[in-house]
Amino acid sequence: MSEAHALRRWLGSGMDAVRHSRGRLDAINVFPVADADTGTNVYLTLQEGNRAVARLPADASHRDVAAAFARGALMGARGNSGVILSQYLSALLRVIDSKGGLESVDARGLSLALGRAAEAAYAAVGAPVEGTILSVARAAARSANASATGGGSREQVIVAAVDGARDGLKRTTEQLPSARAAGVVDAGAAALVLQLEMLAEAIAGEGALAAHPAVAWELPGRRHRVVQPGHASHGEEDGGEYEVMFVADREEDARAGLLERLTAIGDSVTVTASHGLVQAHVHTDHPARAVALAEELDAHQIVARSITMSTVQDRSATGVVALTTCPGLAEPLADAGAVVLVVPEPGSLRKRDLSRAVRDASGAEAIVVAGDPSLLATARALADKRGRPRLVVIEASHEAHVIAAVAASALATPGEDVAHLMRAAVASTAVGQSTGDALDEDLDTLVGPGTEVVTLVLARGIDDSVGDEARASVEARSPGAELAVYPGGQEWPPILIGVESAPS
């Protein structure tokens, strides 16, 4: 039997526990935003970690399994809770491995691991809030330390940690205003308790917690009331309207500086670091600034979405993924309900990065529209191999097509064929580009009497006053046509053009 057998079993059982409770965790999710996705985010985070482990040979060492899980979970971390949990588990595994592995770690080593994991979780957060996953991590560590200091066995230490975590989970209802208002415990904290319960079973046996009652996630006799969709619950003040996440190849010493810079532009900031990677998460009203910071770090997996829109979207319905080379388009595309994957260098897009965005958009079906031929090719390649969520690719490869298609999807009514609407929008949009020197002539070849909307996407450094110049030109050719100008922030070409006309 492999030396990592117990570790593999625990990691898998932790994921399964969240999978079985995923819907309930989503339902009680009110912090930091009532967007009903904590269970889904934690599950997808753990799933990526376990997938990385599954790729290892059966006889892989304990250290290899721990490292693969930590890197996979960090790469695939979703949302605030997923990012924090990935950091917590990474620190926990690092100490356990240094103490001989899960099957050999003694009581004091296990207590030390739980303490270091709690410290790592707190360190990952820009502005720690009590009554969350952080408080429960610390409560578990304190109880474990008390047991180990008192001479408890490793089995007694982990059971004490679960008891402490459960007591901490109960307190989250009163500590966190949004949880108290809804009559629930904190969802992220509940997810951590599930992990510790599975760890207790892996170390002390399946019946170890039989005499230790679990914690109800909702107050007895009280109807569960979740904060209305679209309203943030960031403690005492509302937070940013957009969520931006990215991964960059950086060592751990870059974490503190990145945490500080993201805290300056938003809240719910978490930055984790492990195995040469940093994973960053922020809620902000300035998504372009967060994306620009990600670009500065040569980041990948730059994902942006509107928190307001995500709270009203059904994961069982069709979702839309927009692939764009233009950082400045992240905000307007997210406002229209798309999960936006920003890829400044189109050739660098990896199928697993796109796959992550697809899973973020929907659990059933996702429609992808791309603003570049290379991005389109990657989407096609992924669509050929996907099971669920089903992937539909719109045949388009220009940023103006992306804008038109996503706008059309936002206008869809329940029951309408969203893909058909998006394809029709692409078909009615002629596209081109301009260096700006002859914009009037370039527009002249595209704008006609039937033109309804003209879209200009401006490269970095192009003054938006060109919109004023274009307006007169458009008005002369198609009176009443709308002109939309976006600061795309692309490197080239200077101006991307889209002209949407009424069906002939």
Domains of the chain in start order, with CATH, are 5-204 (1.25.40.340), 429-501 (3.30.2320)
Residue 89 has pLDDT above 80, yes or no: yes
pLDDT at 390 over 70: yes
Q: At residue 182, does pLDDT exceed 60?
A: yes
Question: Letter for the amino acid at 183?
Answer: G
Burial class (CB in 10 A: 0-12, 13-18, 19+), 292: middle
Tell me how far apart the alpha carbons of residues 55 and 31 are, in angstroms, rounded to a whole number: 34
Q: If you ran DSSP here, which 8-state letter would residue 432 be given?
A: E
- Asked if 456 and 485 touch (Cβ cutoff 8 Å), the reply is yes
Q: How far apart are CA 283 and CA 143, in angstroms?
A: 33
197 in helix, strand or coil? helix
pLDDT, residue 373, reads 96
Q: Give the whole-angstrom CA distance, residue 335 versus residue 361.
A: 14
What mean pLDDT do residues 437-441 have? 91
Q: Which residue has the tokens 């996705």?
A: 37
Residues 299-321: pLDDT tens digits? 988 999 998 876 656 666 889 99
- When mean pLDDT is compared across 173-187, 227-241, 379-393, 431-445, the lowest value belongs to 227-241
Q: Which value, to the nearest 10 degrees, does the dihedral of the CA atoms of residues 147, 148, 154, 158 take?
A: 40
% pLDDT > 70, the chain: 93
DSSP string, 334-373: HHTT-EEEE-SSGGG--HHHHHHHHHHH-SSEEEEEESSH
CA distance 56 to 35: 35
77/41 Cα distance (integer angstroms):
7
Average pLDDT over residues 128-146: 97
* C-beta of residue 107 within 8 angstroms of C-beta of residue 156: yes
Instruction: State whether residue 290 is helix, strand or coil.
Output: helix
Which residue is associated with the tokens 């059982």?
13
Res 504 pLDDT > 70: no
Taking residues 168-194, what's their average pLDDT? 95
* pLDDT at position 230: 38
Percent of the chain having pLDDT more than 90?
A: 77
Radius of gyration of the chain (CA): 25
